[in-house]
Chain A
Amino acid sequence: MRNVIAACTVVVLLAAVAWLGLSRMQSAWHGVDEAVVEKFAREAGRPPREPFINTDQGDLLLFVFLLAGTAGGFVGGYYFRELFSRKA
């Protein structure tokens, strides 16, 4: 029961911090590529062009990032277990 209460407290605190932070800040949370790299490149007349394989279309990018995260997480978890399992 103590664990459930602790987990609920963490979730409520995180939600409060996220709500307060996001509702008060006017930031667009762009990546620094857009805010810095592409800004300077455009000013110099070298704007970026589309990637050769453009997965940045609609929700497709979210899907490939999810796949990449899953694959990377699986590989990481597999070798983590091999190296750091208490039985190793």
Chain B
Amino acid sequence: MSKKHALVMIAGLVLLPAPAFAMHISEGILPAPWAGLWFAVSIPFVFWGLRQVKARALLDAKSKALVALVGSAVFIISCMPVPVPTAGTCSHPCGTGLAAILIGPGPTFVVTSVALLLQALFLAHGGLTTLGADIVSMGVVGGLAGYGVFRVLCGVKVSPVLAAFAAGVLSDWATYATTSFQLASALHGSGSLWAMFVAILVAFIPTQLPLGIFEGFLAAGAYRFIRSRRPELLEPLAVRVHEQGAEA
């Protein structure tokens, strides 16, 4: 990718953001006990992520720049509306699967928290009371799913680019499955939790099925670009070792 292409890509990212709402659970939807529970679940992950960011910065000063770049990408990607013609609706990719394979799951929790906090504060996007639930679905589950899928596939000698594609797809779907579970568990009332979970999940499918595949291409393209231009940036996560194994 030439410098000109990269500049066009960045300009596109700057121009594209516009109001879009998707996996973010809006203010007031979750009852207080459920909102509190998801905050409690998210806090240890975010603190662990902060410790990882600090520890890695001591070993390699460049890691902060990569975390900042990935953080800005997650922020922009997760408020970028993508029209899905098959469903006639709009939704956004999450970017956390890609983030996790580039900077690791810990820093992904941190950048996702910052992105979601800014969106909740200033963009009427998500909510402050539902921030914990949104961090868990997009940052924790999306990040861990993307990272786990990538490592497992690289471990069984799948091409890293294909593994990045699968990580992007499955992290997106895992995020929306978690949102479905969060909504169903808080709102099912006297009805069946399982039935409501399936109903919400099925309602997401027409939009998220194609969007997840789009996110897979996004993750694979970005991973391939970094591997070809600055493979040493991937060293801290030791993915190159797996790559060599996969390509052998």
Contact = CB atoms under 8 A, between A and B. Distances in A.
B140 to A, nearest CB: 19
Interface of B: 3, 6-7, 10-11, 13-31, 62, 65-66, 68-69, 71-73, 75-76, 79, 81, 83, 85, 87-91, 118-124, 127-128, 179, 183, 186-189, 196, 199-200, 203-204, 207-208, 229-230, 233
A34 B5 CA distance: 35
A29 B225 CA distance: 32
Contacts of A25: 85, 88
A61 B119 CA distance: 11
A70 B76 CA distance: 10
B20 A69 contact: no
B89 to A, nearest CB: 5
Contacts of A31: 20-22, 81, 89-91
Contacts of A38: 26, 29
Among A36, A55, A82, A85, the most chain B Cβ lie within 10 Å of the Cβ of A36
Contact of B65 (A30, A52, A79): A79
B187 A41 contact: yes
A10 B121 CA distance: 38
A2 interface: no
Interface of A: 21, 25-41, 44, 46-56, 61-62, 64-66, 68-70, 72-77, 79-80, 82-86, 88
A73 B187 contact: no
Contact of B66 (A33, A72, A83): A83
Given A25-B88, A53-B122, A83-B233, A72 B203 contact: no
A87 B187 CA distance: 54
B124 A32 contact: no
A62 B19 contact: yes
A31 B200 CA distance: 15
A33 B27 contact: no
B118 A68 contact: yes
Nearest to B184: A40
Contacts of A53: 121-122, 124
A29 B128 CA distance: 26
Given A30-B90, A35-B89, A48 B28 contact: yes
Nearest to B179: A37
Contact of B124 (A26, A51, A82, A86): A51
A27 B183 contact: no
